[in-house]
Structure formats: C-alpha cells, structure tokens
Structure 1
Amino acid sequence: MLGFRDPVADAIGLLKPRTVVGPNLRAVGEWALRFDTFLHVRIGGLVRGTCWLILEGHEPVLLQEGDTFMLGNPPPYVLAGTLDASPRPAEPVLAEADDGFVRIGQESGDDLYLCVGHVAFDDSNAALLTDLLPPLVIVRAADPRGMELGQLIALLATEVGVAAAGGPLVQNHLAQVLLVHMLRAHAGQTDRPTGWLGALNEDGIGTALRAVHADVAHSWSLKELAEISHMSRSAFAQSFKNQVGVPPLEYLIQWRMNLARDALDRDTLSISELARATGYQSESAFSTAFRRVVGSSPAKYRNQARKPELASPAQQ
C-alpha cells in the first residue's frame, strides 16, 4: 500500500533530495566569482558581511548579513564584493577549499562569510519543484521569516568543516529543513500559482490539498473538497486554480500519476494493485489516465525503468 501524508512531505519524498553543503566562502577586498548554470536548487545565506548577487537577466541584488537566497535552475550568476570587480570562474577557486572553506584575500574581521548548499533531486521528478520556482528568491533578515532562516544558515555554517560525529548527517538534515523554510517563505511572497506549495499556507486550499494527500485513493469530488475547504464549489474551484495552477480534480490526477510513476520506478506494486492504491476501480481506467498524463502505458513505463537494472555491464 502507498503511504501518503502531508503534501509537502510527499512531494519532497518523491524528489529524493541530495544535498551538498559548502564549501563556504570567506572573502575580503575586490573579488568576484562566476558560477555556471546548474540544475535544481542552490540555497545560501550571509552569516556576515555583504555581497552582490548578479543573476543573468536580472538587476544586481545587494545581499546583507542575515539575508538568505534560493536559486531555482538558475542561469549563470556572479557573487561579488563590488560591482566593478572582474569575475573569475568559481569552480577552480572552490576546488581549493580547505576544511570546508575557501578564502579570498587576507583574513579580516570585516570579511564576508557566505554559507551555501546545493540540493539536487531525482531527475524524473525534479520538475515537481523546479517548475514552481522563479530563478531567484530572497528573504531579507528583516522579513517575518528572516530571523529563523538566518539562524538556520548560521547553524549550518558551524557544521561545515567541523570534524564532529554525524556531521554530514546534520548538514544534510539542516539543508533540507532550510529548503522547506525557504519554500514557505516563497509561498508567502508570491502571487503566482504555487502547485503543492499551496499546502504551506493554512487556508482552505491547503486543507483540501492535505485531505487529498492523506487519502489519495478516495473518490474525491469537487463538492466534497469544497466542503472541506468551507467554500462554495465555484469559489473553491476558482481559488484552487488561481493558487495551484490547475483545477482541483486535474491536480488529483496529476498527483496520482506522480505517485504511480515513483511506484513503477521502484517496482513495488503490480499494476492492478497500483490502480487500487491510486483510486481507480479497474486497471484499464488507471492505464488510460496514466497514458494521458505520462504518455505511455504503465507496463511500458515499468519495463523502461527496469532496463538499466537488467542491462549487462557490456551493454551499459
């Protein structure tokens, strides 16, 4: 049986996040580092000092102590001490990290102290999040969530380069907690559709999303979801589409198919069992919905997922 709970926990579970924290940066004077485009999400924050974040296609942003930022599938960008500094490639500089730190310039009490982490996701499900994010999200230290995010960044920074028992585990969990808090902040800042991130807000739409995820096999109707949300059907349908980006029952189908793909990838259930677990009365009804959303039959999708495991070393 499939286990479903909170929408955010479910989605992040499907994303299978892998985190790499650091190396952290300490810099003083004139400096600038150019980062190539990369996939998925990078999160960072200033423990001390200020620096410029220059994202291709955007106006330069001055980051200050206590600010945090999140980059979603960003284009190339530059971090710099001053706007007129000439950027150099970041990769060879970061490769010289010592004990989790890279230093540019002489040590100073006034130097920048930047903590960063990269969060990568399972490629087949990464779009569940990256399609919902703008290239740049900034939470200022003075924002309502700024203090807790600043504390998380500071705590994460202290774990980098410390040879303490369980250090990598602590870094991994802190980075994922930081990700969730940044998503909460983003969901509260934006007026664009936020998909399952709508469950982060304690309102009628969030209540409906949590109900759907708590029992994805239930035969949900628009009337039932509207009642749970204490709204009329028309008001609920309009509000849900505005906030989530798709109509309620379309969201339910898409989410069921996301879960079905993950189960087929892991080959944990037969197709008939998976049909019942995702709310379909027959295997044929499930297969029709799966083919419409995913573009292939469940059996074909499962066979494709099995191929890398079945291939011999000479074939790979």
Structure 2
Amino acid sequence: MASVFPYTSSRPPVDGQDPITAAIGLLRPRDVGHAGLHATGSWAVQFEPTPHVELGVVARGDCWLVLEGHEPVQLHEGDFYLLGNPPRYRLAGDLDAPPQDATSSWEGSLRIGPEVEESTYVCGGYFGFDDDNAGVLLDVLPPVVLVRAGDPRGGALAHLSALLVAEMDTRGVGGSLVLDHLAQIVFVHMLRAHAEATTRPAGWLGALRDDGIGAALRAMHGDVAHRWTLAELADISLMSRSAFASAFKRQVGNAPLDYLIQWRMSLARDALRRDTRSISELASATGYESESAFSTAFRRVVGSSPRQFRNEALRR
C-alpha cells in the first residue's frame, strides 16, 4: 500500500526535506479558483470574507488593496499579494469610489467601467483547504503577504505572472488545469518569499530560516516515523539540549516534542478520516512502538480514541 505520509518510507537525508511541501500536502487544496479583474475609470470592488487563502497579481496598472481593519496598501504593476483568511476587502482604483459587490470567491472574469482600453488588470485566485488542518498554515500567516515587483525574492514570480496572463487571456484546451497548477506554484513562491522576509514570520514558517531550528524541523517532517529524542534534534541543530529547547519554543511557539506530537496527530487524523490505514499501521508510521501508545497519545491530543474518531469521520 502506498504511504499516506510523503516522507516516511525510510529515513532520508535530513537536509533534503521540505516542511512547506508537507504542510500543503496535509492541507489538500480542494477548491482552486481563478479569475481576472478588468477595470477602467473610477472603480472599486468589494469582496466578502473568504476562507482560506486568496492571492493575486497586478498584471497591468495600479490599484489599492483595502482590508477591513487595515490601512490601504497601494499595489503597482508586477506586485503579488497573498491574503490569509481575508476579512471583507476591496480592490480599488479610487479610494473614494463606491464599491461594486463581487462574488465571495473569484470565478470567471469581472469587468468594471466603460468599454475602453483597461487601466488595470488583476489576475487572482483562491484556495480552499481541508478545514480540520487549515490552521497548520493559516495560524502562521499574516493578513497580507506582499512581494513587490522589484523584490529580488520575486524573480520567479515575474515569469509566472506572464504565464498566468497568457493562460487567462487564451483559455486554451486544458487551460483550467494549467491555471490550477500555476496558482499552486505562485502560492508556494509566495510562502517562500514570506519565509525569507527580513521580518521573521511567526511560527514554524519563520523558523525555517534558522539554520539550527530549521534543520530540526526538516528532520522531523522528513521522517515522522523515527522516534526522535530531544538530544538527537539538538545535535542536528548543533546546540545543547537546553539551548535548542529554548530557541525552538521561542521561534515556533511549542516545545520540540510537543510540536512533533501535534504534527503526527494531524497526519493521523487525516489518515483516519480517509480510512487509508489500520490503527496499528498508523502507530508505526507516526513513531509509536505500539498501537496502545499511539492510542493514548491520540486521545490526549484529540479527545477521542483513534477508532472513535474514524467511525465518526466515516459517518459524516
């Protein structure tokens, strides 16, 4: 049977792992949408709150991004934005223009203003995730992530912008599949840029920049089945156990082994909902010596036994 965990079949090199890929794999994007906004004149469009992630690029022109409760941000041609669990927000060419209502999620093509050559073109999209695991990523994202056109971290995004515009304009055979994959690539590049930002992001995403803590995170995600000890993780981080434990909790928000347990239980919940493994197999795949030890840990974190959780999930 194929593994439900991407990296647990053997213990690969520590430096080859990617927690971002592991997190997105757990999130299982289930809804991917994309649309184009064409605007001229004095305009504004209002979007209702949308879970879980919206992203966009100003392909031509300029506009304002105004999130409820936040200061307006001016966007210029080539700028990318990512919104985590966005509240009500507006895109506007004129901050004083009365907003036109848009659908709660981006679909198709929206045109505003007179039928003349457009002044602004925004390509956007959204991702809906598995609600039970969405917090793995959304808890470490700010309301807005911006990558400006001149940002050296956004070099690859400029090429992606050209591809997005071309696909949106042509809508050729297989176009929706291409757009889905392009949107996911943009999403990953935005997360990379955010993780590498000068101001360290919150939680595990920001900790990836740290050579020591990042190495420990990659190790844990890289081999969930290994029975990690604090001493092993500290050695990987080239720190003493006390220094490692303190730095990890400060940067990630949890103690190292608590973080590992939470991640293991997230993977286990996902597998149990999909009925892909026996409980004894899950115990081994998540680093427990016995089904009993796994069940005890699962009950402590989740509040029910693995068997109860599976039965309830399958009845939904």
Equivalent in the alignment of 1:82? 94
1:193 corresponds to which of 202, 209, 217: 202
Q: Normalising by structure 1, what TM-score? A: 0.89
1:278 corresponds to which of 266, 281, 286: 286
**For the structure 1 residues 269 and 94, does the alpha-carbon distance in structure 2 shift closer, same or farther, using more than 3 Å as the test?**
closer
Q: Provide the rounded CA distance (Å) in 1 between the counterparts of 2:86 and 2:267.
A: 27
Equivalent in the alignment of 1:29? 41
- Deviation digits for residues 54-110 of structure 1, max 9, x if unmatched? 111100110011111011111101111011111121129977xxxx43222235556
Q: Provide the rounded CA distance (Å) in 2 between the counterparts of 1:292 and 1:24.
A: 47
**For the structure 1 residues 186 and 196, does the alpha-carbon distance in structure 2 shift closer, same or farther, using more than 3 Å as the test?**
closer
List runs of 5+ in structure 2 lacking aligned partners. 8-17
Q: Provide the rounded CA distance (Å) in 1 between the counterparts of 2:221 and 2:24.
A: 13
Query: Number of matched residues?
Result: 303
Q: Which secondary structure does the structure 2 equivalent of 1:262 belong to?
A: helix
2:80 corresponds to which of 68, 91, 103: 68
The code of the aligned residue for 2:260 comes to L
Q: Provide the rounded CA distance (Å) in 1 between the counterparts of 2:234 and 2:214.
A: 12
Report the CA distance between 1:242 and its aligned residue: 2.5
Q: Which secondary structure does the structure 2 equivalent of 1:145 belong to?
A: helix
CA contact (8 A) 1:216 1:279 kept: yes
Report the CA distance between 1:165 and its aligned residue: 2.7
Counterpart mapping for 1:86-235 below 5 A: 86-91=98-103, 100-109=108-117, 111-189=119-197, 190-195=199-204, 198-199=207-208, 201=209, 203-235=211-243
Equivalent in the alignment of 2:308? 300
- Deviation digits for residues 191-225 of structure 1, max 9, x if unmatched? 343325644x3722222112112221111111111
**For the structure 1 residues 19 and 175, does the alpha-carbon distance in structure 2 shift closer, same or farther, using more than 3 Å as the test?**
farther
Q: Normalising by structure 2, what TM-score? A: 0.89
Report the CA distance between 1:233 and its aligned residue: 1.9
Equivalent in the alignment of 1:312? none
Q: Provide the rounded CA distance (Å) in 1 between the counterparts of 2:68 and 2:123.
A: 21
CA contact (8 A) 1:101 1:161 kept: no
Equivalent in the alignment of 1:54? 66
Q: Provide the rounded CA distance (Å) in 2 between the counterparts of 1:186 and 1:194.
A: 12
Q: Provide the rounded CA distance (Å) in 2 between the counterparts of 1:159 and 1:178.
A: 14
Equivalent in the alignment of 2:23? 11
**For the structure 1 residues 35 and 2, does the alpha-carbon distance in structure 2 shift closer, same or farther, using more than 3 Å as the test?**
closer
Worse-matched range after superposition: 31-40 or 134-143: 134-143
The code of the aligned residue for 1:4 comes to P
Q: Provide the rounded CA distance (Å) in 2 between the counterparts of 1:207 and 1:33.
A: 44
Q: Which secondary structure does the structure 1 equivalent of 2:86 belong to?
A: coil
Q: Which secondary structure does the structure 1 equivalent of 2:64 belong to?
A: strand
The code of the aligned residue for 1:3 comes to F
List runs of 5+ in structure 1 lacking aligned partners. 309-316
The code of the aligned residue for 1:16 comes to R
Give the percent of matched residue pairs that are identical in Structure 1 and Structure 2.
59
Q: Provide the rounded CA distance (Å) in 1 between the counterparts of 2:166 and 2:148.
A: 21
Equivalent in the alignment of 1:42? 54
Equivalent in the alignment of 1:311? none
Q: Provide the rounded CA distance (Å) in 2 between the counterparts of 1:305 and 1:94.
A: 30
Report the CA distance between 1:147 and its aligned residue: 2.8
Q: Which secondary structure does the structure 2 equivalent of 1:22 belong to?
A: strand
